[in-house]
Structure 1
């Protein structure tokens, strides 16, 4: 069901090349999304409508969901689900509110200051996937940090669903209602990203688009980056677990399965220095997968080239492996798990010990589950309040402070053969360099 990779002994120099990873051919998808995005740019709402009809089998006069439908979805929501969403929102707000950054003024020299001011983007488009699963939790993870950042205008979009009258899933609409979001669009795929990038009669253009999606959403983000800001090109979801012989095989297997449940391309990777644990996890996978609902999807994900059990000589070697892998989600199931977790450098989110599974982070930990995939955690962060803020430096110098700097500015400007740069300062002092 799941392959093994034996890395006991000296680790290879290029660890990434030998570790399992899903293939996501965004470049190939670009050829398919380019004409869609161009069509939306030139024909606006009419193009969005046509592509939604072609891809989702839904034909709506307007992409925008009527506000009364959003509130009706909340009224019909299962009370237990509503309670869980409300608590998820509360916990997410606690965490993301603490991420707010205040204005900081630094005195560089007497009479000269630089202030870093944090300004929210004006308008954001928040993409919530639809398809094999329903993700009201992704509404929470996108909307809460945008709201806590102070974004003035935000819109949610999610693919139109034929079985729900051409609207997004009711649970997604209900989550929007709980968060006070009244602009929701029934649009998915590349045409949704293009809608936010260029604007239509139904949807004003946005400055930034965030949220995970399929390969066509990722390709549209790549294509339109610069026309619109993006958070990341999300790939298939992934979990890595670093475990030693103290780990519980049934719990490790359950966590691998929970991530494999997302998609046939989902990655589930166990890194361990215990051959005994590896064998026990393999047995647990066989037993537990047979009992779960999405057996076919999970089996395909676990058997794919993106999943595997990696054997190493030690937890130290395991740390090197998981840092090279740079997982979206990383669980630590070792003795002294907190100490081991503190040594991890590359991961989208780290889950410490047996009582912090990834599923908790997906819904109720308070952390954000929109995280870097495909090894991007070595250079990128997950979605946060910072994703929706722009740092702007405000420079204030008085005459004396400028005079003190002028000689050095002139020297540097002339060294770069840009004398007009220096002249811009000398013009303020009668074309002389102040002494």
Structure 2
């Protein structure tokens, strides 16, 4: 997924609602303007009929030799003007008919296209965050009062983040994302400093700040490749967003507890990556953990997005369990205090998530979906959910999307060895369909 547009769920939905609310007034205003122009044109064309009297005067004046020479131009002017006026009437009517036709399609087309425009505005808003000296001084003062266990590293990574925001050569992508990260850090520091925040919440927010700081530290490490730094930057961005979601007054106590449990484990994984207790992991294994954290954060977002969240309670429970299992594995695999068997089991889970889209059975399944003529939206849904939650549960989650309905119906009637899978997803929660996957 392109990261230039932040794709935050709350902002994305807000942008969509704003686009929907603005689309109709704009169209109505344009149509009104078009209808207002139409009578004006008709009125301008109407009064041009009276020039008939001048020809009568012209017939009386021919006996005078001199006026005849002067008047013919006058006679020709009305005669020449009248035909164009009469000929212009049809063209004037055509624009009147064409204007609503030309304006209506853009209204229909702009409704889905408004979102990218809103996302572009969102990017501009992100770039405006913490650009003034006052704003930057404020967040520095907040960081100076941060909890001791995070203060030193937080101040260091914050200074680097502000350098990116102030740099004339930094990419728009970096400016936008770092702007949001600093804003979320500021919000979280305010919550930690507030007397209204419970000691338990302060401890949770502090732990999340440690995870964000660990991700930023890696994102700013010049020894890492550009691709690696982008991964860590985006992880910091996601963690920063989740901690602000927990502070929302609209979140229920149950939702807050659930988010806390899930994001806290992922923060632990980032803390362990940034400050390993045991021997450093081989680069290949470390990259698996990095990608695993990012993928699992993506699964969390998809679970919060009403457009991708499973509709059935059984399916929701299964995906939550998978997210929990993957999150804990990402921590255990780095824990030197865990038993060897625990680390082996955790490594197996991390490996499975990392290689999900390379699984031979998954590739065969995806090929079957494409053979059935699945639209791009359906294929993308399957690929994205597989990437986030693995094979086969993530793949079946993706197949349950509304964009795959026709494909599921076609597959159920196709009679291939995959038909039982499609038939099951069409009639049952997808969490009950793993057993229908062909064994060979």
**TM-score using structure 1 length:** 0.24
**TM-score using structure 2 length:** 0.24
Larger relative contact order (CA 8 Å, sep ≥ 6): 1
